[in-house]
Structure 1
């Protein structure tokens, strides 16, 4: 399970990072996957703590997640997130990426570009639920389309 960070200049996980952590944790719970590693990915923004550390702290202290946690705390872009987590995914049986749906789609496309062999192990995370983000959904949809503009048509497929 890879949970991608979002700009976090404060000293605790922001709203978006907290939601992403919850989506990642529920993705594990949905499968009852024992032995799953959670990789929090994201470097420091604005000179503060790394997003990965803030998300791990939230998972452990608030959500009481007691599973295996790995940190990738150098990334500043989605491309770097994927590049930097690849060594941590080499031996995984399945790979899930949790984020907002459009962002997760972009990250999966980047994994396909960088390591097609690992992309064969991709399965969808539980990061989309009907009704979630209802008020912000139109803005998130527009932002998602803008963010996906650099992907080829076949990379924008939502099926895995």
Structure 2
């Protein structure tokens, strides 16, 4: 009985830890910038085939729910990701999925050459001109990494970063401890001030 109780407590603690870390990452290196023109940047994930994988389907949905409501808001949806095995670029697959499965009819821009997160940011920078707010959509740790890279490359644009809707309580609940462990490993390339959201922006 004690073993089961201990296991249950440990499991609950792991779930809470994963939930908290993902929540914190989703709120790091973002501000409260206002404005009517926004860009929602959806980053692709390892899609070697011609069918959109599970992670990319979720990222498209998270990107679409990140679009601000209201007729006065102008949103450009940017899908980023090059081909992983010489086939169709991830950006194209994501855009086609958004239109065919979710009937998205807004402006779409494709960045279809990048192969790394650093390249994602480098290549989308020209597409961010003239927007008031920038939302980067991915799993929270990966999105934080991308925001940190934008801050390194273009601090002026990073000042326009706001939170996307890529974190929701309970979503991916059972996977969040694993996502948290993987996130900690991937974020080791960031400086402490970037992981904590401190310093100049």
Matched, 1:126 2:181: no
Matched, 1:11 2:50: yes
Give the drift of 1:64: 0.5
RMSD: 1.4
Partner of 1:21: 60
- Whether the 8 Å CA contact 1:37–1:70 is kept in 2: the answer is yes
In structure 1, C-alpha distance between the alignment counterparts of 2:74 and 2:158, rounded to whole Å = 20
TM-score by length of 1: 0.95
Task: List alignment gaps of at least 5 residues for structure 2.
Answer: 1-39
Secondary structure of the residue aligned to 1:135 is: helix
- Whether the 8 Å CA contact 1:40–1:55 is kept in 2: the answer is yes
Aligned positions, number: 159
Deviations 1:58-115 (A, max 9, x none): 0000011000000000000000000000000021110000000000000000000000
Partner of 1:103: 142
What does 1:11-160 align with in structure 2 at a 5 Å threshold? Answer: 11-29=50-68, 31-32=69-70, 34-157=73-196
Q: Which has the higher contact order (CA 8 A, sep 6+)?
A: 2
Structure showing greater Rg:
2
In structure 1, C-alpha distance between the alignment counterparts of 2:130 and 2:187, rounded to whole Å = 29
Task: List alignment gaps of at least 5 residues for structure 1.
Answer: none
Give the drift of 1:158: 5.3
